[in-house]
Homo-oligomer: A and B are copies of this chain.
Amino acid sequence: MSHNKPLILITNDDGLIAKGISELVKFVRPLGEIVVVAPDAPRSGSGCSLTVTQPVHFKMIRKDVGLTVYRCSGSPVDCVKLARHAILDRDPDLVLSGINHGDNSGVNVHYSGTMGAVIEACVNRIPAIGFSLCDHDQGADFEPMGKYVRELTKMVLLNGLPDYTCLNVNFPKVEEIKGLKVCQQARGSWSNEWEPCPRSFDENYYWMSGSFVPLKKGHEKSDNWALANGYGAITPTLVDMTDYKFAKELDSLVAGLLMEDEE
């Protein structure tokens, strides 16, 4: 096997059976040697979670020229960790995750298993992109985003990404995408997040639900705005979450605490 072709690791959070991951493989297959390590069942909303209370298992289920596929019993982050430490003989040149059936823009980056895998790669300084389509349907049409997925993948293979920065790329559910916008993570929050599902003698059961309400301020630069207006939204995403700006003010506050302590 030649090492000249880029090694591309692909995973997702909807599970191996989802249409989105097959479409992603199809779009980027000409660009490198593809290894898929993906969850054996849906793992939506798994964020950066790890499996710690039971062993994680993987199994090769397909091996073709240029494409090897493994299913894994763990989370998307587990898939990346297992691929790197127990499956691949070298680090991938690129990690791709998705294509997610559903929007991962704005604060969803925190809850998203798709982005969990991307963050895991990025923490280990492997360039990584998460792709999502704002359509939860199992049969969603990924075709309109195909050329953008391919071009962005080529761009990152060619130029890399800064250490500790990854890309969160979301596409609107439209027949024709207007183009790409580099965006900011939308500010806002979820409302109506719980749907009661009471049972006899106990009403305290709830299904996760809800809708995202973006803040108005700075809205036009946000990924949420781009999607609502027909653009693909590329949000460059830092895995170093340190608030360097607030650090100085916090320093004085904390110093104050210590002085009181000594009195």
Q: Which chain A residues have a beta carbon within 8 Å of chain B's beta carbons?
A: 42, 44-53, 55-59, 77-78, 81-82, 85-86, 107, 109-111, 113, 116, 119-120, 123-125, 147, 151-152, 155, 159, 161-162, 164-165, 179-180, 182, 184-185, 187, 189-190, 192-194, 197, 202, 204-208, 234-244, 246-247, 250-251, 253-254, 257-258, 260-261
Contacts and interface: CB of A to CB of B under 8 A. Distances in A.
Question: How would you classify the secondary structure of chain A's contact residues: helix, strand, loop or mixed?
Answer: mixed
Contact of A50 (B47, B82, B189, B202): B47
A-B residue pairs, 5 tightest by C-beta: A45-B50, A47-B48, A47-B47, A236-B243, A49-B49
A123 B191 CA distance: 12
A185 B86 contact: no
A201 to B, nearest CB: 12
Nearest to A123: B107
B56 A45 contact: no
A86 B250 contact: no
Contacts of A162: 243, 246
Contacts of A239: 107, 110, 241
Given A52-B45, A242-B185, A234 B208 contact: no
A58 B110 CA distance: 23
Given A193-B85, A238-B241, A53 B42 contact: yes
Contacts of A184: 240, 242, 244, 247
Nearest to A60: B204
Contacts of A164: 187
Contacts of A107: 123, 239
Nearest to A73: B205
Contacts of A204: 57-59, 86
B207 A246 contact: no
B50 A187 contact: no
Contacts of A190: 81
Contacts of A242: 184-185, 235-238
B85 A110 contact: no
Given A187-B164, A194-B81, A254 B234 contact: yes
A168 to B, nearest CB: 8
A49 B184 CA distance: 22
